[in-house]
């Protein structure tokens, strides 16, 4: 398949308050996109109308219209039943809970094939097909942000398991009996290494009374600490800030070591907003894996940043649209 096939896949990435649509050619090039407000409504059909109409208008903007669309895929920020095309839980768009979204879209878009998957699955698929993992078949992905997501690809397929939990790396238990996690468990990676866990580490450093730029950069207001502030303090050589990422990278590194022996990945891709800390997190992360996975002798140069940063959702949905073409 080449660009000249004239075919397109359409990806829809649903967020809390907005959704994005991207039109992709067979090589994964984004040829058209747009971002829109998700209707504020308790009527799931109204949301399906809006998604379908917007996808239709993007298709109409290409030669051949919907006739040249190989598939439409939705990446959803929560658990889904991909086989049935049903949203299982929708914390941000409540009315979609239990809703047969693919069927609703397919009805509105004629014969076009529609697919639904969890956004972490989609992000992993995008890296496998079009991103950092396009030359390998076995990939492990970690996405560090408000939560910790991830995915596993083996033998060139992203796998999720019969209960759709395979690859939920945010809930690997890293600190037994540690902080409570949103899932109800304790000491999950997400509880200690996602955004809030990182901010709490920084606040604890400040509260310990040690001298740190962290508090100067927010003019004394601890509630203004963000990962960006911590990264800036690192850039200025602040030891307390460097230790925050050292600790986070340690937790993450232990998770990686465990996943390496379980999945034997050719490459490990790190995405999400926290990955923007760059070497402040990658260097201690690689050091941890090198020191603590002697059985794998893992080549830590294979731990790389994700290709698709803020656009992971839309590229993921686009890759899923093409996956079934």
Of 39 and 185, which CB lies nearer to Zn ion in the complex structure? 185
Helices first, then strands: H and E counts in the chain: 10, 12
DSSP state of 100: B
- The CB-of-256 to Zn ion minimum distance in angstroms stands at 17
Of 197 and 318, which CB lies nearer to Zn ion in the complex structure? 197
**Residue numbers at the binding site for Zn ion (CB under 5 A):** 171, 181, 183, 185, 188
Burial class (CB in 10 A: 0-12, 13-18, 19+), 129: buried
CB neighbour burial string for 177-196, b if at least 16 within 10 angstroms, e if fewer:
ebeebeeeeebbbbbbbbbe
Q: What is the DSSP string of 165-226?
A: -TT-GGGSB-STT-SBPTTS-BSBHHHHHSHHHHHHHHHHHHHTT---HHHHTTTT-GGG--
- The CB-of-185 to Zn ion minimum distance in angstroms stands at 4
Of 128 and 148, which CB lies nearer to Zn ion in the complex structure? 148
- The CB-of-77 to Zn ion minimum distance in angstroms stands at 16
Where do the H-state alpha helices sit in 64-146? 101-108, 119-129
The C-alpha atoms of residue 111 and residue 222 are separated, in whole angstroms, by 54
Of 187 and 284, which CB lies nearer to Zn ion in the complex structure? 187
- The CB-of-147 to Zn ion minimum distance in angstroms stands at 9
- The CB-of-194 to Zn ion minimum distance in angstroms stands at 10
Do the beta carbons of residue 192 and residue 255 sit within 8 Å?
Answer: no
Give the closest residue to 79 by CA, choosing from 56, 57, 96, 67: 96
Of 127 and 190, which CB lies nearer to Zn ion in the complex structure? 190
Give the closest residue to 95 by CA, choosing from 42, 143, 135, 147: 42
Of 184 and 209, which CB lies nearer to Zn ion in the complex structure? 184
Q: What residues contact 204, with CB distance under 8 A and at least 6 apart?
A: none
- The CB-of-204 to Zn ion minimum distance in angstroms stands at 21
- The CB-of-171 to Zn ion minimum distance in angstroms stands at 4
Of 1 and 183, which CB lies nearer to Zn ion in the complex structure? 183
- The CB-of-104 to Zn ion minimum distance in angstroms stands at 31
Of 133 and 197, which CB lies nearer to Zn ion in the complex structure? 197
């Amino acid at each position: 398949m080449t660009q000249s096939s004239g075919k397109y896949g359409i990806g829809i990435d649903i967020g809390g308050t907005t959704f994005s649509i991207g039109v992709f050619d067979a090589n994964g090039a984004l040829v058209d996109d747009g971002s829109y407000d998700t209707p504020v409504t308790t009527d799931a059909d109204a949301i399906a109308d809006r998604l379908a109409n917007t996808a239709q208008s993007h298709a109409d903007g290409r030669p051949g219209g919907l006739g040249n669309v190989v598939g439409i895929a939705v990446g959803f920020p929560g658990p889904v039943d991909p086989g049935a095309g049903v949203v299982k839980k929708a914390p941000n768009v409540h009315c979609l809970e239990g809703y047969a979204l693919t069927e609703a879209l397919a009805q509105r878009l004629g014969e076009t094939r529609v697919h639904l998957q969890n956004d972490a699955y989609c992000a992993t698929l995008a890296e496998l097909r079009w991103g950092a993992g396009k030359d390998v078949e076995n990939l492990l992905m970690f996405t560090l942000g408000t939560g910790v997501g991830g995915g596993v690809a083996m033998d060139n397929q992203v796998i999720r398991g019969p209960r759709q939990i395979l690859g939920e790396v945010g809930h690997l238990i890293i600190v037994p009996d540690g902080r409570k996690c949103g899932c109800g468990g304790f000491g999950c990676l997400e509880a200690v290494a996602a955004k809030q866990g990182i901010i709490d580490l920084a606040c604890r450093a400040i509260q310990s009374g040690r001298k740190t730029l962290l508090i100067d950069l927010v003019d004394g207001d601890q509630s203004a600490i963000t990962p960006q502030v911590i990264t800036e303090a690192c850039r200025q050589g602040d030891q307390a800030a460097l230790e925050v990422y050292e600790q986070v990278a340690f937790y993450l590194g232990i998770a990686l070591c465990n996943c390496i022996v379980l999945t034997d990945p050719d490459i490990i891709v790190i995405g999400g907003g926290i990955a923007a800390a760059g070497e402040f997190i990658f260097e201690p992360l690689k050091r941890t894996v090198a020191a603590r996975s002697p059985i794998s002798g893992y080549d830590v140069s294979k731990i790389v940043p994700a290709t698709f940063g803020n656009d992971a959702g839309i590229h993921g949905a686009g890759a899923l649209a093409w996956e079934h073409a």
